[in-house]
Each structure stands twice: as C-alpha cells, then as structure tokens.
Chains A and B, each alone.
Chain A
Amino acid sequence: MSITPWQLGNVPGPKTALKLTGEVAGKLLKKAKNPLIIVGAEALKVKVGEKLLLDYVIEIAEVAKIPIVATSSTLSAFLERGVEPALSMGAIEITDRLRDPEWSLDGSKPHDIVVYVGITYQLQSQLLSCLKNFAPQIRTLSLDRYYHPNATWSFQNLSEKDWIENLNILMKTLKEEKKKD
C-alpha cells in the first residue's frame, strides 16, 4: 500500500519520497560526503520521549559530525545549550542557497544530503518541493514524524512510539557505523 502524505491533500505528483527507516537514515548519513541538518522552530516544541527534539538533533549532529543550520529563532536555544550552529539563517534563505549546485557552507564541496527536521509541515513540504524540482544534485531526508512526499526519503506517518524507536535506531546505527570505522 502506498504511503499517504500526512496532510492528505498534499499530493504533489508521480515522484514521492521513499520510505525511510532509522537504519536507512543512519547509513545514508554515515555515507554522505557533505551532509547538512536544517533545524526549525518546531524542534523547540516537539518531544522525543523525555527530550526536546532539538536536543535529540544536537546529539545526532554530534555523533555524525554534521553541521547544523538553525532557522528562525532556534538559534537562541542552541546558544543556551552551548552549541554553536554552523549557520543561522531563515529556512527559506538556506533552501534558496542550496539550489545552487556549487554552494556549500564552507565553500568546499557541495552538499549531497540535507536533513530537514522541526520545520512546520506545510512550510517544510514546500521547501522540500523546491529542492526536489530545482536541486537534483541534493537528496533530502525528513526526520519528522509525518510523511513528506516531497523529500527523497521520509519516515512514513508514525506513532510517537514508532518514531522514537526509529530515531533511536538511527542513533544506534550512526554509533555502530562509527565503531566499524
């Protein structure tokens, strides 16, 4: 059975996201040459078990050594935690730059995988649509609980319990892969 978008009317066209699991996400991030995580303001509201989504994402980024872009007012939450994001920029502005095949945070090699997490569903869907259509060099992952058809890979619509489980597997995979290295 095909996966339905979280917002049921949000049917973009024939090309829709592949189903993501925690394990696949971990492997993709580990193999990525120059990944990036974009964290939005919902990460300050949504909980992953006892933790805020933001704290969980910080952990993922630290384990996988992935730079973070803090959108909107999430910057202050990062700074409060003593974490310096690689960049603070509007979700729209960073997505605009990612359209350029040559652009990257440090000006070296372009980003190949970009993770979106914690950006309100409707806006995130549109941002992912932009990259799907205008940045074929980039593969996108959504780590939110809800299926985003415009991503390259997205979790399907998950219960909170299943979502946490997948995120834990993602973390475990990152750590395991790290050990193997």
Chain B
Amino acid sequence: MVEKGPIKFSVKSLKGSGISLEDIEIAIGRLAMEEEWEPMGPTPMPKITTLREWDMKLLKRYRPFYMPFCDLCCLCTYGKCDLTAGKRGACGLDIGAQQGRIVLIACAIGASTHTSHARHLVDHLIEKYGENWPIDLGSDIYVEMPISRLITGIKPKTLGDLSYILKYVEEQIVQTLAAAHTGQEGSYLDFESKSLHLGMLDHLAMEVADVAQIITYNFPKGKPDAPLTEVGMGLADTTKPVILCIGHNVSSGVEIIDFMKKNGLGRPGETIEVLGLCCTAHDLTRYDEQAKIVGPISHQIRFIRSGAADVLILDEQCIHIMVLSEAQRVKTPVIATSDKACHGLPDMTNKPVEEIVDALVSGKYPGVLILDLEKAGAVAVLTALRIAPIRKKFKSLPDKADLKKVAEKCTKCGRCRRNCPIDLPTDEAVFAARQGNFDKLAELYDYCLGCARCESECPRDIPIHSLIVSAAELKIKTERYKIRVGRGPILDTEIREVGSPIVFGEIPGVVAYVGCANYPEGGRDVAIMAEEFLRRRFIVTVSGCSAMSIAMYRTEEGKTLYEEYSGAFDAGGLVNVGSCVANAHIAGAAIKIANIFARRPLRANYEEIADYVLNRVGACGVAWGAMSQKAASIATGFNRLGVPVIVGPQGAKYRRLYLGRREDRESFTVYDARTGDRVWVGPAPEHLVYVAETREEAIVMTAKLCLRPNDTTKGRMIKLTHYVELYKKYYRRLPDDLHMFIRTEADIPITFKGEIMEYLKEVGWEPWEKPVVDPTLLERLIRVKK
C-alpha cells in the first residue's frame, strides 16, 4: 500500500515465489533524512491529482466563466479549427475545454518562469556560498518557509534543500504541462484543476527564489521599518555614469554593486548611479538602498530613449524585446546575462574583461552576452566609466521645440489608437500637437503603458511614444518619489499580534495590490485604492510594479503613502514585500495565520490550510494591471489557497474567471465542523477571480470579498460597515445583497442600523438559525460525525 506521498511508503505484506515479507517501510531520497519536526501530513509533494478533490470543491462553488479571446485553435496541424459556440475541433476538444487548456498553458509559462528564475538564483548562490548555507531569517521568524513546509513537508535548512524543492517543482510542471498536448486532457474542470496545481507550484518557486536571495544577499528579513528609497524618472544624477538593470533577477546587479565596492568606487550613487527597472529594481534596493528605482515596466522604453543610461544590463523577464535596437539609437551598450534572453548577442562569456569592455566602448558590438555574472558586473562598471564621457547622454527623444514639426506628418488615420492596448486617444493628441497644442500629449504620459505599439503601427513613422515623453518633459524632471524598500517576509511575532483580529474580522481585511502595470487608466488608480483601505485600517500589502505605482502618487499632505503609513503588518500598515517573487510572503502570511495563530498542522497539509484560509482569513488580492502569464499563475496559486483576486478590465483577456452565484444557496453551504451539520453561510467570499469594470467597483468588491463565514459578530459588523460605507459612497444606496451577510441583528453596522433594519424588513429577512459555525468544506474535519 502506498502511503502519504511519492517517496515514503510501507508495505503490509508482500508474498511472492519463495519470499514472504511483512510490515516493511521504505523511504527513498531526501524525505527519509527529514527531521520529524511535525507529523507528516496527508499530501507531501502532491502530484497532479493529489489535490484534485479540493479543486473540485472550489470549482463547484466558483464555476469557471470563460470569455474566449480567440474562437480558433491553432496548436496542431489538424487546425486551424473553428470552435465557436460548441463546435469541436478535429481532436474533439470544445471551446470551454480549450479555454481551460490555454489558461493551463499560461499558468505553466508563469510557473516555469518563476521556477527557472529560482533555479538560476539557487544554482548561482550555491556556487558562491555553498549548498550548506543556512536558511536564517532571524529570531522573529521561526516558520521560515511556510509554503515549502505546507506543500512539500520539508522544513528547509540550507540552500541545498531549496535546490531539492525546485526539483520537485520542475518535475511537476513538466507533468502538468503535458496535459495540454493534443489528445490528452479533455475536461475543462480537469484543465482548471491542473492550472490550480501550477499556481500552487508557482508560489513554491517564488518562495524558494526570494528566500534564497534574502539569506545570501542579506536583504531585509521582514523589517517593518525597512528604509525608504527613491523611485522615478527624474532621480538619476546624470552627471555620473549610469547603469540601468532591467528585469527580475538581481544577481547581475549585485555583482555590479560588489565590484564597485571592491574597487573603491563606493556605493551606488557615489561615483556611479545604479538604477533598476521592474522587479530587479526592488531587489537592488533590498541589497543596497542607495540604488534607485526608475519605475515599472512602462518606464522602460522612455528611460532608454532619454539617454540617461550609459550601460544596460538585462537579466530576465519583462524585458521589452526592442530594447537592443532602442539602446543602439542612443549608443548605450547592452549586456545580456541570462540564457533565457540572449537577444541574438555574441557570447563573450569566456573572453577577458578588458577585451569585452573595448568591444563595447568602441561600438564593435552593440551588446554582448555574458553568462558569468561576476564578469558581467565588472564589464558593466568599467564600460560605464569609459563610455559615459563619450556618449554625453545622447538621447533619442525630440526636443520640445521640434514636436510640432514631427507631428505635422500625422494624417489622423487612427491606427495608433486602434492598436493601443488601452485605446488611448493618441491620434487626437498627435493631431493637436500638429496645431501647436502639446497638452493632450502630456496628459497621456500618466496613462501610457510605454509599449510603443503605436509607433510600430504608424504608417508615417511618427515616434508617438517619444512625443508623449517629450511633451511631458517637466513632469518627468520632477518625477521623484519615496518608496519603502521591500521588507520580505512577515514576522511570526506580527502574525501572533494580528492573527486573532484578522480571523475574527476585527481587522477588516488584508488587501494585496500586486502585479503588472497594464492599468486601464493609469497607476494612480492603484494608489487611490490602496489609500482607501489604509485609511480604513485594513492591512495593505504590495509588490512588484503595483508597489512602484503606489509610490508615484502624493496625498493631500504632499507625501507618498509609504511616508504616511507604517511598514508593519498591522491595521493601517502598508507592507511592501518586494519584487514579484516576494509575493510568496503574502500567501505565506495567510498560511502562517492558520499555523501560528490557529495551530493548524502545517506539514504537507494543503487542503486543511487552504480550507482554513478560505473560510477564515479575510484576504483579497487586486492585480489591477495584470498582464503577464506570471500574473495568471500567481493569481491561480492564491485561488487554490482560498484567496480571491480582483483584476482590472484588461484582465478579462485572461479568458477565465471563477465566479460564485450568491443566489445558489447550496454552493455556499459548508459543514459545521462541531456538529457535521450542513449550514448555509452566505456568499463569503462570493468570487475567486473577478474582473471589475472600474476602480470604484473594485473598491466595493474588495471590501465584500474580505467577508468570511468565520467572522465574529463584532468582526462582521466592522466588515459590513466598510462594505456599506463604500457601497453608499459609490452607488448611493444600500447593497442589495446585504441580507445575505447579516446573520443576527448584532451584525448590523451601528451607524446604519435604522436604515438597514428597514431594508431587512422589506426583503423579509429572518435571523439565521445558526449564525456562528465552525466552517469547513472538508468532511474529514468534522469532529462529531452524524
């Protein structure tokens, strides 16, 4: 009989020709050596179908809602097959399953990307620090890697353990992706279960990546008072050589800073500016807060064109594919450092540093590939020092005086607008510039995604993105804001403080603003949403591009939210965890609440912990500008753990949501673990993935998705106060589903009592028979079975 996982198993009896064995227990590999820190849970290192039953419980309540982005399938040579409205492809697949399949592929890409990132980091760090380098996150963090413990059953102690965990993730991604091959999986629900599996694996890989870099690079280890640093286009001191790091893997940037220190060039900003763009920027400032953050992905092309950077270092992910040609236009050499993003550059890894620097400074090569990170760091610094006086910040942006002349070519054909991902009225702005009015162009700066797609579509070759940037010159010069350095994990001590108020609802919720910068109406919306919940004393956690966008907004007091609110994981705290991979700490905090506060067994006990989070931890993610496949897998990983996510209108292009129906009572019926009774608990949380049309809708839905069946009376009253206040603020009346959340009169927000009582009378509300239960979806957790 195989028991508890793939590696450890026992055999009661084995009989064959000539042999008879009884009670054999065999353990193979890493788990056999694992310290018994807690009894092994039911699902160590789950395979594709191990948690399928849990997924089906979720999918029964939160049904997949598909919005095909394309009605065809073009993945095999039978096709293209038209799958519109129920037609089946040559392989037999229908449009629903095809959507599930595409989402699975997206999640596999996302999970692979984080895993590959983690693998690159871990291998590099093992080479540098040795596989026995200890995992030590300080005395305030005992549960150092909650996701790893929960999924694998391993309590990792060294870098070598992280490598072992990654092997499991890598193997599972391969197994799961294989389901997308023609003639494999056919059920949309099973595709979804596999996507949920990939999302879970993605979180594991992110945790490995971030912990590996925290322990070796000495990033802040959960410091609530991590220092403030700067973000913005206007912060670079261009009188100095400037190195810009783009991507997500900070190793090459670390080598740059280390080389500078070793060679008497001081810290970033002293003799050379070291800037970052995208998540690698967060991690550079975690390494040394004197490094600076240019901004989110939208700032990539515009900053390169400004000519401020003397050297570009590329690592991996979120690199604009035109980066090399853009850099060539401003004579900035490029150094690629990842085997996943070589950009056609010559491999100079084995050449001497001096030779590579000569080749870059002389312009022999516009860029090089260097896969030895230490060497890449040295080349970047030496090249920057030599080339800066030659380049003289050569830029490729038109002067403001030339804007009108450039715009005169515009015929207002509208192709720029009709290819803009967010439908910006670029045609009107360029046409206005033709008449000498640059205000419309400048206004677009705050909304523009910076993809420059408008330019590649313009039949008159007008550099539209450059026009926008030049018109906003003044705005850019003053673009300088404060942001708190990514603090990494949440302390166990913080969890002990807030566990109870979160679970009982007295802290009304934990809201996470995460993900990319594909905002429908600018990054300001994310800051406004965050501010709304900070004022209401929710815990607000942030990461990645969203964390940067939140910084680029000032309150009425003229401060950024990071200057106004503390960095503690507590009511009214604004917690920047760091880069994309640091998202693992947000999921980790939810898991730690179940483990540290509620003392639920953690080890390989995924279902029970996810069940706990779904029913008790009022957390909600908001990925307002989600764009990438990584964002898809991150969100799906949160979903499997029981955390709902709201995406912006652009997120509809992910094709799939998980929606509940409040009127479907059966789907919101749970077990009362104390009695085994089936009890309706109201639609809390109502959805698992939701698209909001506007910022206002997202705000109201966020407050609602923080409701949980386990809320105490006081907690429910507090949460409903926020929900009702926000609903009234934006919709001007009481919510029409309010009666579904009020269990007894004691749940009613005091400030609205009269009005709500009247409403309840109108809808025929009666107090619930069983207002407080011990909610679970898992039959095995019922303590007294009927």
Partners in one complex: yes
A134:B66 contact, CB within 8 angstroms: yes
B690:A122 contact, CB within 8 angstroms: no
Among the interface residues B457, B661, B731, which one has the most CB atoms of the partner chain A within 10 A? Answer: B731
B70:A12 contact, CB within 8 angstroms: yes
Complex interface: chain A residues within 8 A of B423 (CB): 6-7, 120-122
Q: A15 — nearest CB in chain B belongs to which residue?
A: B84
Q: B99 — nearest CB in chain A belongs to which residue?
A: A133
Complex interface: chain A residues within 8 A of B692 (CB): 72, 90
> Known contacts being A41-B693, A73-B696, is A130 close to B71, with CB within 8 Å?
no
A104 shortest CB reach to chain B, Å = 13
Range class of the A interface residue count: 35 or more
Q: Tell me the residues in window 1-22 of chain A with beta carbons closer than 8 Å to chain B beta carbons.
A: 6-9, 11-15
B730:A76 contact, CB within 8 angstroms: yes
User: How distant is the Cα of A75 from the Cα of B691 in the complex, in angstroms?
Assistant: 18
A80:B693 contact, CB within 8 angstroms: no
B661:A96 contact, CB within 8 angstroms: yes
Q: B63 — nearest CB in chain A belongs to which residue?
A: A96
A97:B661 contact, CB within 8 angstroms: yes
A88:B84 contact, CB within 8 angstroms: no
> Known contacts being A73-B696, A76-B730, A122-B423, is A127 close to B67, with CB within 8 Å?
yes
B690:A92 contact, CB within 8 angstroms: yes
B744 at the interface (CB under 8 A from A): no
The 9 A-B pairs at the shortest CB distance, nearest first, are namely: A13-B71, A126-B652, A126-B67, A76-B732, A123-B649, A73-B696, A72-B697, A72-B693, A130-B67
Q: A93 — nearest CB in chain B belongs to which residue?
A: B659
B536 at the interface (CB under 8 A from A): no
Where chain B touches its partner, the secondary structure class is: mixed
Q: Pick 5 A–B contacts, CB within 8 A, sort by A.
A: A9-B419, A96-B661, A120-B423, A122-B423, A130-B67
B731:A92 contact, CB within 8 angstroms: no
A91:B71 contact, CB within 8 angstroms: no
User: How distant is the Cα of A122 from the Cα of B85 in the complex, in angstroms?
Assistant: 20
> Known contacts being A14-B84, A92-B690, A134-B66, is A123 close to B652, with CB within 8 Å?
yes
Complex interface: chain B residues within 8 A of A136 (CB): 85-86
Q: B72 — nearest CB in chain A belongs to which residue?
A: A13
A154 at the interface (CB under 8 A from B): no
A142 shortest CB reach to chain B, Å = 15
B543 shortest CB reach to chain A, Å = 25
B417 shortest CB reach to chain A, Å = 9
A119 at the interface (CB under 8 A from B): yes
B657:A120 contact, CB within 8 angstroms: no
B68 at the interface (CB under 8 A from A): yes
A130 shortest CB reach to chain B, Å = 4
> Known contacts being A7-B423, A41-B694, A96-B65, is A13 close to B84, with CB within 8 Å?
yes
Q: A4 — nearest CB in chain B belongs to which residue?
A: B418
Complex interface: chain A residues within 8 A of B563 (CB): none
B693:A129 contact, CB within 8 angstroms: no
Complex interface: chain B residues within 8 A of A15 (CB): 71, 82, 84-85
* Chain A residues engaging chain B, CB cutoff 8 angstroms: 6-9, 11-15, 40-41, 71-73, 75-76, 79-80, 88, 90-93, 96-97, 99, 119-123, 126-127, 129-130, 132-134, 136
Q: B457 — nearest CB in chain A belongs to which residue?
A: A8
Instruction: Scan B455-493; emit 1 where CB is below 8 A from any A CB, else 0.
Output: 001000000000000000000000000000000000000
A94 shortest CB reach to chain B, Å = 11
User: How distant is the Cα of A79 from the Cα of B731 in the complex, in angstroms?
Assistant: 9
Q: B654 — nearest CB in chain A belongs to which residue?
A: A126
A52 shortest CB reach to chain B, Å = 16
> Known contacts being A13-B72, A123-B693, A133-B68, is A92 close to B653, with CB within 8 Å?
no
User: How distant is the Cα of A134 from the Cα of B97 in the complex, in angstroms?
Assistant: 12
* Chain B residues engaging chain A, CB cutoff 8 angstroms: 65-72, 82-86, 95-96, 415, 418-419, 422-423, 457, 520, 649-650, 652-653, 655, 657, 659, 661, 690-694, 696-697, 701, 730-733, 736
Complex interface: chain B residues within 8 A of A80 (CB): 732
B418:A7 contact, CB within 8 angstroms: yes
Q: A8 — nearest CB in chain B belongs to which residue?
A: B418
Complex interface: chain B residues within 8 A of A99 (CB): 65
User: How distant is the Cα of A130 from the Cα of B67 in the complex, in angstroms?
Assistant: 4
Residue from B69, B415, B661 within 8 A of A129 (CB atoms) = B69
A132:B690 contact, CB within 8 angstroms: no
B657:A92 contact, CB within 8 angstroms: yes
> Known contacts being A9-B419, A13-B84, A133-B84, is A88 close to B96, with CB within 8 Å?
no
B693:A14 contact, CB within 8 angstroms: no
Q: B700 — nearest CB in chain A belongs to which residue?
A: A73
Complex interface: chain A residues within 8 A of B653 (CB): 122, 126
User: How distant is the Cα of A41 from the Cα of B415 in the complex, in angstroms?
Assistant: 25
User: How distant is the Cα of A91 from the Cα of B651 in the complex, in angstroms?
Assistant: 13
User: How distant is the Cα of A123 from the Cα of B692 in the complex, in angstroms?
Assistant: 9
Complex interface: chain B residues within 8 A of A119 (CB): 693
User: How distant is the Cα of A39 from the Cα of B736 in the complex, in angstroms?
Assistant: 18
Q: A6 — nearest CB in chain B belongs to which residue?
A: B418
B661:A123 contact, CB within 8 angstroms: no
Complex interface: chain B residues within 8 A of A92 (CB): 65, 652, 657, 659, 690-691, 693
User: How distant is the Cα of A8 from the Cα of B65 in the complex, in angstroms?
Assistant: 25
User: How distant is the Cα of A163 from the Cα of B86 in the complex, in angstroms?
Assistant: 33
Complex interface: chain B residues within 8 A of A132 (CB): 71, 84-85
Complex interface: chain B residues within 8 A of A76 (CB): 730-732
Q: B415 — nearest CB in chain A belongs to which residue?
A: A8
B540 shortest CB reach to chain A, Å = 22
Complex interface: chain B residues within 8 A of A123 (CB): 649, 652, 691, 693
> Known contacts being A90-B690, A97-B661, is A72 close to B696, with CB within 8 Å?
yes
A154 shortest CB reach to chain B, Å = 15
B8 shortest CB reach to chain A, Å = 44
User: How distant is the Cα of A171 from the Cα of B277 in the complex, in angstroms?
Assistant: 52
User: How distant is the Cα of A126 from the Cα of B423 in the complex, in angstroms?
Assistant: 15
A8:B419 contact, CB within 8 angstroms: yes
Complex interface: chain A residues within 8 A of B691 (CB): 91-92, 123
Q: B663 — nearest CB in chain A belongs to which residue?
A: A97
Q: B728 — nearest CB in chain A belongs to which residue?
A: A76
User: How distant is the Cα of A136 from the Cα of B94 in the complex, in angstroms?
Assistant: 15
Complex interface: chain B residues within 8 A of A40 (CB): 693
Give me 5 other A-B pairs in contact (C-beta within 8 A), A73-B697, A120-B649, A129-B69 excluded. Answer: A76-B730, A91-B691, A122-B423, A126-B69, A130-B65
